[in-house]
Amino acid sequence: MTDSTSALPLQPQEYHHFLRTPRARWWKGALLALSFLVLYLLVSLLLTVAAVAFDVATERVQVSSLVEGRLTMSPALMLASNLAPALMIPASMLLQWGFFGQRPRWLHSVHGGFRWRLLVRAAIFVVPLWAVYVVLTTLLLPQGPTGAFTAESVALLVIIVVTTPLQAAGEEYGARGLLTRAAGSWVADRRVALVVATGFSAVLFTVAHGAGDPWLISYYFVFAVALSLVTWRTGGLEVAVLVHGVNNLFLFVLAVSLGSDLSQTFDRRNGVAGPSMLIAMGMMALITIVVWWWAHRSGVVRFSRPLPPAPPTPPLPPLLRGGAPQDQKPLAWPE
């Protein structure tokens, strides 16, 4: 493999800059991002239509309710909303492989694999910290109206526990992984690339959540920037997947356990949130600082290992070079 065809960085690179290789072209990054967004929209649309059709066929939802725009979160819709981003895990890997030639394993981290030990070590402090945060916010902040715990609640809990970690991971592989790297490939300077890549992925992540409330818009943007910094500092997606997964899992499980309508959790219209979102934003800032400190103390390396230099090519024998040894005369054909 020569320098001009290498699919991997020739020098140590950080996670966001990992597609800055000899194969990088500005149009590849742009087309990669566009392909991902189109694919996600199509998958999400197809799964949502299938879930709604299932609810109508089983008479859980009436057609008149659909016409009036009254649609509650059902197990089928919950499954569809989680599976769409979950499917972006293999999709992101294949798109990176197709556009930049980097095998799927290089999307996990700069070490070329998913670091399970790093995930477990981070979970030791992330999970308890998030549990305290959820308990305190539940006790201090007013909760919405609650209802009865039904058989459908059990189905929702099963779907949430099984698929929500995959949903969170899919959003990280798409936003903090593929989209961040696509934008990072446009800029040669790694510091400028970090700013461009973080801003690009954060804006798309925020828009994708479709929030109309200024407080929610600010929260999603802070959430995205925080996890981009976590990914950059740890050199991979593992800790970002953990934080995102724990956040969503605790949020949904708590809402269903209290008998709340999950449709309220997905309600992002203007006016549904307020200054209390500053607590959630502060929590994201805190977890970023804690991960930063922990990664420094633990010696987590955020740079990739460079490719070994190609061995020097041995000189060809004089005859194969087209010349002749110095102690011999060139061969000549008789005239």
Q: At residue 23, does pLDDT exceed 80?
A: yes
Quote the pLDDT of residue 198.
98
- What is the average per-residue pLDDT within 134-163? 83
Instruction: Tell me, yes or no, whether 311 lies in a domain.
Output: no
Quote the pLDDT of residue 247.
96
Higher pLDDT, 30 or 317: 30
Q: At residue 323, does pLDDT exceed 70?
A: no
Tens of pLDDT along 283-322?
999 999 999 999 999 999 899 865 555 556 566 555 545 5
Quote the pLDDT of residue 2.
43
Residue 185 domain boundaries? 8-305
Quote the pLDDT of residue 329.
40
Q: Cα(164)–Cα(159) distance, rounded to whole angstroms?
A: 8
Q: Cα(63)–Cα(232) distance, rounded to whole angstroms?
A: 47
Instruction: Tell me, yes or no, whether 319 lies in a domain.
Output: no
Instruction: Tell me, yes or no, whether 77 lies in a domain.
Output: yes
Instruction: Tell me, yes or no, whether 259 lies in a domain.
Output: yes
Q: Cα(34)–Cα(178) distance, rounded to whole angstroms?
A: 11
Q: At residue 1, does pLDDT exceed 50?
A: no
Instruction: Tell me, yes or no, whether 153 lies in a domain.
Output: yes
Instruction: Tally the residues of the chain.
Output: 335
Tens of pLDDT along 61-119?
777 666 666 677 889 999 999 999 999 999 999 999 999 999 999 999 999 999 999 99
Q: How many domains does the chain have?
A: 1
pTM score of the predicted model: 0.88
Quote the pLDDT of residue 150.
80
Tens of pLDDT along 166-196?
999 999 999 999 999 999 999 999 999 999 9
φ and ψ at 261, to 5 degrees? Answer: -80, 120
- What is the average per-residue pLDDT within 203-209? 96
Instruction: Tell me, yes or no, whether 325 lies in a domain.
Output: no
Quote the pLDDT of residue 67.
65
Tokens standing for residue 75: 């197990």
Instruction: Tell me, yes or no, whether 244 lies in a domain.
Output: yes
Tens of pLDDT along 264-279?
778 888 888 899 999 9
- What is the average per-residue pLDDT within 248-257? 91
Instruction: Tell me, yes or no, whether 314 lies in a domain.
Output: no
Quote the pLDDT of residue 314.
63
- What is the average per-residue pLDDT within 238-261? 92
Q: In the 3-class helix/strand/coil scheme, how is the chain assigned residue by residue?
A: CCHHHCCCCCCCCEHHHCCCCCCCCHHHHHHHHHHHHHHHHHHHHHHHHHHHHHHHHCCCCCHHHHHHCCCCCCHHHHHHHHHHHHCHHHHHHHHHHHHHCCCHHHHCECCCCCCHHHHHHHHHHHHHHHHHHHHHHHHHCCCCCECCCCHHHHHHHHHHHHHHHHHHHHHHHHHHHHHHHHHHCCCCCHHHHHHHHHHHHHHHHHHHCCCCCHHHHHHHHHHHHHHHHHHHHHCECHHHHHHHHHHHHHHHHHHHHCCECHHHHCCCCCCCCCCCHHHHHHHHHHHHHHHHHHHHHHCCCCECCCCCCCCCCCCCCHHHHCCCCCCCCCCCCCC
- What is the average per-residue pLDDT within 45-52? 95
